[in-house]
Structures are given as C-alpha cells and as structure tokens.
C-alpha cells in the first residue's frame, strides 16, 4: 500500500536522530517528538486543519502539554480513582487551554466503574470514595466551563469556534481482561462492547486493537482482536488509546478500498510508517491515524544510562496530530 518505511525503536527516537520525529500524509501530520514550547505549527495552507493533542495514562502526573484545538485523554487519569487524585488531575485538565477536552476513564480509574466499584471498593480503598463527587468533577459545571467532555461508551459531536466542521467522536474505557481492575471484558464477550461503537471521525478507547501498538515488554500482543476486526468497517480518521505504556507511538494505516482488512502492524516500543511518494490510488484511500498516547514509561523501560525514562519525556511526549478538516474523499 505504498507504506515505504518502517522504523523500530526500543529507546526514544531522539537518541537516534536530532530531527523532529513526525509522520506526514496529505490529510494528516503526526508529531511524536519536539522541543516543548517550540512545537511545529499547523500546516500553512488554504485548507482548514484541526490540531488534536493526545495524552493517556498520566496516572496523577502532570506534564507540559502543547497547545491545540482539541485535547484527547485516553484514560488512566489516576492510580486508583480516589477523590483526592481525581480533584488534582481535573484541576490540571481544567487549566489547559484547549477549546475542547475529551476524556475517558481507564482500568485504573476504579471509581468511574460504578457497579463494579460498589462490589470491590474494600480491595482498593480504606474508605469508600464518593463517586457522586467524583462524577461532579468530570461532568459537572466546572468541567463543562473548562471544556471537559467525559465519555463512557458515548458519542459526541462538536465544532470549534472558528470552523464549521462538525467532528464526531466516541469514547470507551473498556479493554480485554487485564488484572482485577475496572472496565474489563472477557475476550469471548468483546463484541458486546465493540459492536456498540458507531462510525465516527475520532475514536478513543483505553485499550488498543490487536496488532497495533499493543505489544508488552514481554513481546506479547494484548490488544483486542474483536476491535481490530471491526476497524475496517469504522475507519475513523483518528484512533487514540493507551494502556500498554511500552508501545507508545503512532502509525498511519491506508485502507484498501476494494477489500479493507484489519491493520496488523507491530514492533517493540514504537512504530512509525511514513508515506513517501504515494501513488494516486493511495492518496485517495481512507486513512486512520493510530496513536498509543501513553505518557508514563513502564518500570522495564530504561535508557542506556540505566535510568528510568522520565514521565512524558522523549519517546513518551503528548502526540500532536493535525487533521485536515475536509479530505475530499
């Protein structure tokens, strides 16, 4: 499909090159590494572009976040979803300048999974956390004033102040069984969650699809096969997720118009594919930008100096995605 370059990296790509790491197509530009405060501008063009900034798995940490039109957080806002953790995290998200900030929960945001937390809270917290107060922080007036949109298996539409483009987005916090945490489904029943996903421009899931940025440090692919199988029908412009921290990265998939198949692309750590000199058929093909936006390195990820990689540092920075509003497809 004209995907001409594969770059695989176990360590931050900034160790291999001092050039900005980015992926370019006619309708999408992805920036994975950049100098904070000196991010590349949106493309100079007569066409309107929207900048999405993707983060995930921040686990109560804060980091510099590039400015943009829309912030997307793919879950694991906290360690265990305690009220204090949620207060601190939401105060940070409130303060960010993006017009729209769309967030979902992840398996560590235990209190967000209401029925499940009611049964299991003693395993996690000495005192049962106030779920109503927590939901007020993510869905109440202060959140709305700050542009926060919390999605729990829900679709949402929005347009920006200076654009007539209406974007559609769907967010789901679920992933295949992974420990005894929240929002787990058995792989045999994945369709009950995945079949609900509608065709939208932007898809947020906490867990990745199978075979795309889902490989653990033990070289196990743990993404959802049912989700991967559904993607040829959905073909979102952007699919962002997290959960598997060590596979932070991005990949642009070009769909075959005649027989679209599941995207199956994998490497240890980071995958980049760059479209260079695509033929006319490929230019016309629909494309999906896949982003594993995890910001927290795992304990197994060390640089050559034997130091743990920093939170949201090189190789784990927020991912900047510029999408052209009108693709002409």
Chain mean pLDDT for the chain? 86
Q: Residue 96 contacts by C-beta under 8 Å, 6 or more apart in sequence?
A: 65, 71
| CB-based contact 298:39 (threshold 8 Å) | no
Distances from the Cα of 20 to the Cα of 15, 16, 39, 40, 262, angstroms: 11, 11, 9, 9, 29
Query: ∠ CA 85-96-321 to the nearest 5 degrees?
Result: 110
- CA-CA-CA-CA dihedral for 292, 294, 300, 306, to nearest 10: 110
**Is the Cα dihedral 88, 202, 291, 275 positive or negative?**
negative
Weakest-pLDDT range from 1-15, 193-207, 299-313: 1-15
| CB-based contact 30:22 (threshold 8 Å) | yes
Weakest-pLDDT range from 83-87, 132-136, 307-311: 307-311
Q: What are phi and psi of 225, to 5 degrees?
A: -70, -35
Tell me how far apart the alpha carbons of residues 292 and 55 are, in angstroms, rounded to a whole number.
8
3-state secondary structure 61-98: CCCCCCCCCEEEECCCCCCCCCHHHHHHHHHHHHHCCC
Tell me how far apart the alpha carbons of residues 209 and 265 are, in angstroms, rounded to a whole number.
11
| CB-based contact 111:129 (threshold 8 Å) | yes
Q: What is the pLDDT of residue 2?
A: 29
What is the distance of C-alpha 263 from the center of its chain?
Answer: 17
Q: Which two tokens stand for residue 145?
A: 């004033």
**What letter does residue 56 receive in the DSSP assignment?**
B
Tens of pLDDT, residues 130-186:
999 999 999 999 999 999 999 999 999 999 988 889 999 999 999 999 778 999 999
Q: What is the pLDDT of residue 310?
A: 84
- Report which of residues 58 and 329 the model is more confident about: 58
Q: What is the pTM of this model?
A: 0.89
**Residue 270 pLDDT level (bands cut at 50, 70, 90):** very low
Q: Which two tokens stand for residue 254?
A: 């070009």
For the 21-270+283-324 domain, the top CATH level (class) is alpha beta
Q: Residue 12 contacts by C-beta under 8 Å, 6 or more apart in sequence?
A: 33, 303, 309, 313, 314, 315, 316
Distances from the Cα of 218 to the Cα of 146, 175, 211, 266, 305, angstroms: 40, 19, 14, 13, 21
Residue 309 has pLDDT above 50, yes or no: yes
Query: ∠ CA 291-294-296 to the nearest 5 degrees?
Result: 160
Q: What is the pLDDT of residue 239?
A: 99
The CB density around residue 300, as the number of other CB atoms within 10 Å, is: 11
Q: What is the pLDDT of residue 122?
A: 97
Tell me how far apart the alpha carbons of residues 83 and 90 are, in angstroms, rounded to a whole number.
10
Distances from the Cα of 112 to the Cα of 30, 108, 133, 280, 328, angstroms: 31, 9, 11, 46, 39
């Amino acid at each position: 499909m004209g995907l001409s370059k594969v770059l695989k990296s176990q360590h931050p790509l900034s160790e291999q090159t001092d050039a900005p790491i980015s992926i370019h197509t006619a309708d999408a530009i992805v920036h994975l590494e950049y100098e904070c405060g000196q991010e590349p501008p949106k493309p100079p063009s007569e066409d309107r572009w929207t900048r999405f900034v993707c983060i995930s798995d921040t686990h109560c940490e804060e980091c510099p976040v590039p400015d943009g039109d829309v912030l997307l957080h793919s879950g694991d806002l906290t360690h265990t979803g305690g009220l204090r953790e949620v207060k601190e995290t939401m105060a940070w998200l409130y303060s960010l300048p993006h017009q729209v900030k769309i967030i979902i929960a992840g398996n560590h945001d235990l209190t967000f999974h209401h029925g499940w937390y009611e049964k299991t809270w003693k395993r996690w917290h000495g005192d049962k956390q106030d779920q109503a107060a927590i939901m007020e922080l993510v869905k109440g007036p202060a959140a709305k004033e700050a542009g926060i949109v919390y999605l729990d298996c829900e679709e949402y539409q929005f347009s920006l102040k200076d654009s007539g483009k209406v974007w559609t987005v769907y967010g789901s916090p679920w992933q295949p069984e992974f420990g005894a945490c929240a929002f787990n489904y058995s792989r045999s029943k994945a369709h009950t969650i995945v079949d609900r996903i509608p065709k939208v421009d932007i898809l947020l899931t906490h867990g990745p699809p199978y075979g795309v940025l889902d490989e653990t440090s033990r070289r196990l692919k743990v993404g959802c096969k049912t989700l991967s199988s559904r993607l040829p029908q959905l073909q979102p412009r952007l699919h962002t997720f997290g959960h598997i921290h060590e596979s932070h990265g991005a990949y642009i998939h070009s769909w075959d118009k005649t027989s679209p198949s599941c995207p199956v692309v994998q490497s240890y750590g980071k995958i980049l594919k760059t479209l260079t000199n695509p033929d006319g058929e490929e230019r016309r093909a629909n494309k999906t930008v896949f982003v594993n936006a995890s910001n927290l390195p795992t304990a197994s990820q060390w640089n050559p100096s034997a130091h743990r990689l920093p939170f949201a540092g090189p190789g784990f920075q927020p991912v900047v995605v510029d999408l052209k509003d009108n693709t002409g497809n």
